[in-house]
Amino acid sequence: MITQLTKTFQSYFATTPLVAFAPGRINLIGEHTDYQEGFVFPAAVAQGIWVGIQKNGLTVCRLYSMDFAQEFSFELDYISPKNGHWATYVMGMCALMKQSGYEVQGFDMVIGGTIPVGSGLSSSAALSVSIGTAISSLFDFQIPKKNIVLYAQKSEHLYAGVKCGIMDPYASAFGAEGKALLLDCRPNTHQEISVHLGDYSLMLVNTKVKHTLADTAYNKRREACEESVRILQSEFPQIKTLRDLSFTDLEKVEILLPEALYPKAKHIITECARVHEAATALQAGDLESFGKLLNATHQSLSQDFEVSCAELDFLTEKAQALDFVLGARMMGGGFGGCTLNLVKTSELEAFQAALKSPYEQAFQKTPEFILVEIGEGARVL
C-alpha cells in the first residue's frame, strides 16, 4: 500500500509524501457502552487507512481518494464540510485543529485503505486519526494522541452527524500489537491486556448489509439511555450514567423504568460487567469463558438492546452451533456489518463452508470472511 500510495501521490503532485497509517479496530466486547462512559475492550487490527501528505505552499488543500478515484480541493479559509462525502473527514480535522490554534497550511493528500466497506472495522475513525497523525507530523504540531482522538470524535459529531463514542478513534490511536485495550470511557484511560488465543483465531463475517435505520437507531438508543439516567437519578442520585449501576441494582432499575426503557438500560449495565469478566478470562487464558461472554453479549444486543438484524442473528446462531467455535456475536453499531467469531484455527475453512452456502440461500448475498490479527496503533511510517 505504501508503494502504491507514493506512486499515486507522485503522479498527481510530483513530490514524495510523508506517509501515516491508522488502523481499523475490532471490539472484543463492550458494545454501545462507550457513550454511557462505560467500559469497552477494543483492539487495533492490521487493516487500516494510509495517508500520504506534503506541503504545497498554497492556501488550498488538494485531495485524492484512491478508493473512490476522486479528486477534491478546498480553501483553508472557507471550510464547509459536506455530510456524507469522504473529504468531510479531512475538512473536519482541519477545522478543529485550526480552532485549537494550530496553523494548518495548504497541503496535498492521497488517501488509500484496506478496510472493507461496511465491515464494522471503523474506517471513519481510522480515516480521521490517520489524517490527524499526518497533519500533526507534517507541520510538527506534536499534537498529543488523545487530542487527535478527541478531534476525530468531535468531527464525527459535528460533520458526519453521528454521535459516536470515544472507542473507535481511541483504539485506532492507542492500539498495541497482541494487546486489547481495557478502556474506561469516563476518564478515557486504558489498561493493555495481552491476548493469547492459542489454537484459536478471530474471524469476522461480513453480512454485506447495512440497514438504513442504523444511524437513526444509534442516536435513538443513546437518547433512551440518557432518559433512563434522568429517571433513575430520583432513586440513585449519585449516578451520572448507567455505568454507575451494577447487577445488584437491576431489580430496582426494572421497577423504576418504563417497559420500553428497561431492556436498554439492562444491556448497558450487564455489558459493562461482561467487559471486566472478559478481561479477567483472557488474562487467565480461559478462552471458553471468554467465548461464553461473546454469546451472552449477542443475546443482550439482539434481545435487550435490539440493534441486531435477521442477517446478524442467522450468522451468529449458525456459528454458535459449531463445536469448533467458542463464541460468536454481532460486532459494532448493529443492523448490519460483521459478526465476530472465536474459531479453532485448524477449522477456519470448515467454518466458512458451514456459513457461506446457508447464508447465500437465506439472503441471496455472499458473506465476506475477514481474518483479523491484533496490530499496532496509528503511526508515521
| Catalytic positions | 168
**b/e burial code for range 34-47 (CB count within 10 A of at least 16 → b):** bbbbbbbbbbbbeb
- Tell how strand 60-65 and strand 107-113 pair up: parallel
| Helices and strands, number each (H, E), in the chain | 11, 13
**Cβ-contact 334, 214 below 8 angstroms:** yes
Give the integer Cα–Cα distance in Å for 99 and 55. Answer: 20
Distances (CA, A) of 120 to 134, 202, 208, 229: 23, 14, 10, 28
- By C-alpha distance, which of 98, 85, 161 is closest to 127? 85
Can you tell me the distance from the alpha carbon of 307 to that of 365, in angstroms, rounded to the nearest whole number? 20
Enumerate the β-bridge partners of residue 25. Answer: 44
Cell of 183: 478502556
Residue 146, Cβ neighbours under 10 Å: how many? Answer: 15
Asked whether 168 and 369 are in contact (CB, 8 A), the reply is: no
Helix (H) or strand (E) holding 360: helix 348-363
Measure the CA–CA gap between 170 and 67, rounded to whole angstroms.
24
Contacts of 233 (CB under 8 A, 6+ apart): 239
Name, in order, each residue with C-beta under 8 angstroms of 321's C-beta and a sequence gap of 6 or more: none
Of 234, 317, 236, 318, residue with least CA distance to 269: 236
Dihedral sign from CA coordinates of 136, 137, 142, 145: positive
Question: 380 pairs with which residues across the strands?
Answer: 20
